[in-house]
Structure 1
Amino acid sequence: MTAGVKGPEAFRTIGEVTAELGIAQHILRYWETKFPQLKPLQRAGGRRYYRPEDVALLRQIDQLLNRQGYTVRGVQQLLKSKEPIPEPEPVAEDLLGALKRVRAELVEAIR
Structure 2
Amino acid sequence: MALKKDIDFKLYYSVKEVAALLGVNESLLRYWEREFPQITPRKSGRNIRQYTKEDVETVRQIYYLVKVRGLKLAAAREVLRKEKPAVERDAEILRRLQSVKEQLDALRRELNALE
* TM-score, reference length from structure 2: 0.66
CA gap 1:9/1:45 in 2 versus in 1, 3 angstroms: closer
User: Structure 2: how far apart are the matches of 1:24 and 1:13?
Assistant: 13
Gaps of 5+ in 1: 1-5, 98-111
Which structure has more helix as a fraction of its residues? Answer: 2
Matches within 5 A, 1:24-103: 24-83=25-84, 84-85=86-87, 87=90
Q: State the alpha-carbon separation in 1 of the partners of residues 57 and 8 from structure 2.
A: 14
CA distance in 2, matches of 1:23, 1:77: 22
| RMSD, aligned α-carbons | 2.5
Larger RCO: Structure 1 or Structure 2 (Cα < 8 Å, ≥ 6 residues apart)?
2
CA distance in 2, matches of 1:43, 1:10: 13
| One-letter code aligned to 2:20 | A
Q: Which residue of 1 aligns with 2:104?
A: none
Deviation at 1:18, TM superposition (A): 0.5
Normalised TM-score (structure 1) = 0.68
CA deviation map 1:78-105 (0-9, x unaligned): 1121452273797xx88xx9xxxxxxxx
The separation in 2 between residues aligned to 1:57 and 1:37, in whole angstroms, is 7
| Uncovered stretches (5+) of structure 2, i.e. residues with no partner | 1-6, 102-115
The total of aligned residue pairs comes to 88
- Whole-Å separation in 2 of the counterparts to 1:16 and 1:9: 11
